[in-house]
Each structure stands twice: as structure tokens, then as C-alpha cells.
Structure 1
Amino acid sequence: MSNFDDKLAQHISGLDKEKQPERDLWRGIELGIASQQSVSAEEQESSSKVTPRQWMAIAASVCLVTVLWLSAPLAFKPDESRSDSYALIDAMSTQQKQQVNSLLASYESTPALTQDWQEQLKELDDAADVIKAALKDDPDNSALIKMLHHVYQQQIALIERVHAPKWQQI
């Protein structure tokens, strides 16, 4: 042990083992317990009485819940929201078809580097159809929407790689 540790141990051993309070604490404890018991008795008496202000708050809460309950069927129409959500997916699919067709038209005169690229494009198209079928049941599923977007990106990347690879662009 170091010199500091020795001195610290000596100082600790020289301290009193018990610390005595400077005054009698029981008087304060007794007063605290007595006042707490009187406050809790007053709270029990006042809690059993409902004030007019509390009645107003209860009535307002009941009215609010009733209005929300009755207006909820008007605000929530599941069939319309599903069709709106799937309409966005249809728009995304239409845009993808237009983009693929324009890419194919622009690369029409460029020879393809591989022969099986159309089969790969068909497989990606089949995967997109499966994802869209799943999205008909759950049009708000963000994971499926991301998967569909990824498949569409793969289709575009496939067409670009087959017709204009990066090593030819240099």
C-alpha cells in the first residue's frame, strides 16, 4: 500500500464508530407522525365529497367521449383508405412501366451484352407481381412497398448494365 493509503486507513480508524445526534429527534418524529395522521383523516373526509367543479369535469369528459364515439364511423372509412393506398402503388407501377419502356426504346439500337437478360427481367417482373398481390391485402405495409421499390430499381439497373455497362462509358 502507498503512503496515502496508510494515512487514510489511520484517519478512518480514528473516527467514532457511532455518530450521536446533536439533539433529541423523537420529538420531531412524533410531531411528523401526528400531523401526517391528521392530514390523511382530512383527505379521507374531503375525498368522499365531490365538488361541483369535479362534477363539471366528469360531465365534460362524458360529452367528449360521446361525441368522439359517434363521429368516429364518419371519420374512418377503411374501404376508401385502402383504395387510396393501393392507388399510390398502381401509380408507382405505371411510372415504372413507362420508365422501363423508355429505357428499352433508348437502348433499342444498342446490342445487349448477354442473351438471358430478358429472362432476368421477367423474373423481376414476376417478383413485383407477387409483392403487388401481397400489397392488395395490406397496402400500408412499408416493408412490402420498399421491396417493390427495390425490385423496380433492380429492373432499371439490369437494363442499364446489359446495354451500357460502366466499362464502356469510360
Structure 2
Amino acid sequence: MNKQNFERDLQRRITELQKDRQPQRDLWPGIEYALNRQQEEVPLRSGKPFLGLAAAVAVIGFVGWLSFSPSPVGQGDPSLVAALSQQHQQQKQALLASFADQPALTQNWQEQLDELDGAAEAIKQALEEDPNNLALLKMLQQVYQQQIDLIEKVHAPKWQQI
């Protein structure tokens, strides 16, 4: 079929199409149900990202406060690292408990979480040798935040995915 015949045939078929086409059934009940269900789920899920954000702000504020205090951070006292680790563990356990009934989107997310745990342990060991190193404290906080983000992304509802 040459180009001229194709264009003529296409134009003929376009003019033959129905101008006003109606669906076979009423679609509004399904649309209304989906919108209402989404509105019901949003308040339940909307607090979780803020939980991670609040924890990150608290840790950054705590590290910042310690950096401006007159005494040096730590001096062999691992209380900051212990407090940071304890807070992270509580937050992680709360997230895992809240997502316990939801299926994970990937199969290997536990392995990724374990790898991040290994990174956190390596940073903690480095902090034992140099407790005043703010860069290491920030790295530890970032690894913890990556774990929280991983848990949230792996258990995100399908309607939140792009």
C-alpha cells in the first residue's frame, strides 16, 4: 500500500468512527470507590515518612548540639553512638511491625538491610577508635536513614508507586 492510499484509507476510517462513544457500563461507582479508598488510606500512611524525617532531624540536632558544646564529643564515651543506635533500632522495629501485614515488593530487601547493618557496624568500630569524628557520625546516621527508606520503599502500597 502506497502512502497516498494509506492516507486516504486512514482518513476514511477516521470519518467512519463514532463521534460520541459511551462505555458499556457506568464507571462512576468504581471511580468513586477508588477515590474514597485512597482518601481513607492516605492518613494512615502519611505519618510514616514524617516519623523518619522527625528521627533524622532529632539526630542531626543532637549531633549539632554536641558539636557546639564546650567539651569535646565522646572522649571515649560511646553514649552518643549507643543512643543513636538504640533510637534507630526502635524506629526500625516500629516500621517493620507496621508493615508486617504488607507484602514486600522485592525478595532481596532483607539482604540489602543486612548489608546496611554491616556498614553501620563498620562505622561504629571506626567511631570506637575516633569518637570525635563528626563525619563518621553523619555517615552512621545516613546508613540508618537508608535502612528506614529501604523498609518504607519496599513496603510502599502500589498506588504510591510511579
TM-score under structure 1 length normalisation: 0.50
- Check if 1:94 corresponds to 2:86: yes
The answer for the alignment partner of 1:161 in structure 2 is: 153
Q: What is residue 131 of structure 2 aligned with on the other side?
A: 139
Unaligned runs of 5+ in 1: 1-77
After superposition, the Cα gap between the structure-2 partners of 1:139 and 1:165, relative to the gap in structure 1 and judged at 3 Å, is: farther
Matched residue type, 1:144: L
CA distance in 2, matches of 1:153, 1:82: 26
How far residue 167 of structure 1 moved from its aligned partner, in angstroms, is 4.8
**Structure 1 residue 164, shift from structure 2 partner:** 1.1
Q: CA deviation at 1:165?
A: 5.4
Secondary structure of the residue that 1:109 maps to in structure 2? coil
Structure having the higher helix fraction is 1
Say whether 1:107 aligns with 2:127.
no
The aligned residue for residue 129 of structure 1 is 121
Query: Following the alignment from structure 1 to structure 2, what is the Cα–Cα distance between the partners of residues 81 and 120?
Result: 30
Cα shift at 1:81: 4.8
Give, in whole Å, the separation in 1 of the partners of 2:158 and 2:138.
26
Hey, what does 2:75 align to over in structure 1? 82
- Secondary structure at the aligned position of 1:115 is classed as coil
Structure number with the bigger relative contact order (C-alpha 8 A, sep ≥ 6) is 2
How far apart are the structure 1 equivalents of 2:86 and 2:124?
12
Counterpart CA distance in 2 for 1:165 and 1:150 is: 24
- Higher-Rg structure is 1
In 2, the alpha carbon distance for the partners of 1:99 and 1:128 equals: 15
What is the identity, as a one-letter code, of the residue corresponding to 2:147? Q
Q: C-alpha displacement at 1:99, in angstroms? A: 0.5
- Say how many residue pairs are matched: 92
Structure 2, gaps ≥5 residues long: 1-71
CA distance in 2 between counterparts of 1:92 and 1:130 reads 15
Runs of 4+ aligned residues of structure 1 deviating over 3 Å after TM superposition are: none
Return the match for 2:141 from 111, 135, 149.
Answer: 149
TM-score scaled to structure 2, two decimals?
A: 0.52
Q: Against the structure 1 CA distance between its residues 83 and 102, is the aligned structure 2 distance closer, same or farther, given a 3 Å change threshold?
A: same
Over aligned residue pairs, what C-alpha RMSD do you find?
Answer: 2.4
Q: Using a 3 Å threshold, how does the CA distance of structure 1 residues 129 and 166 change in structure 2: closer, same or farther? A: farther
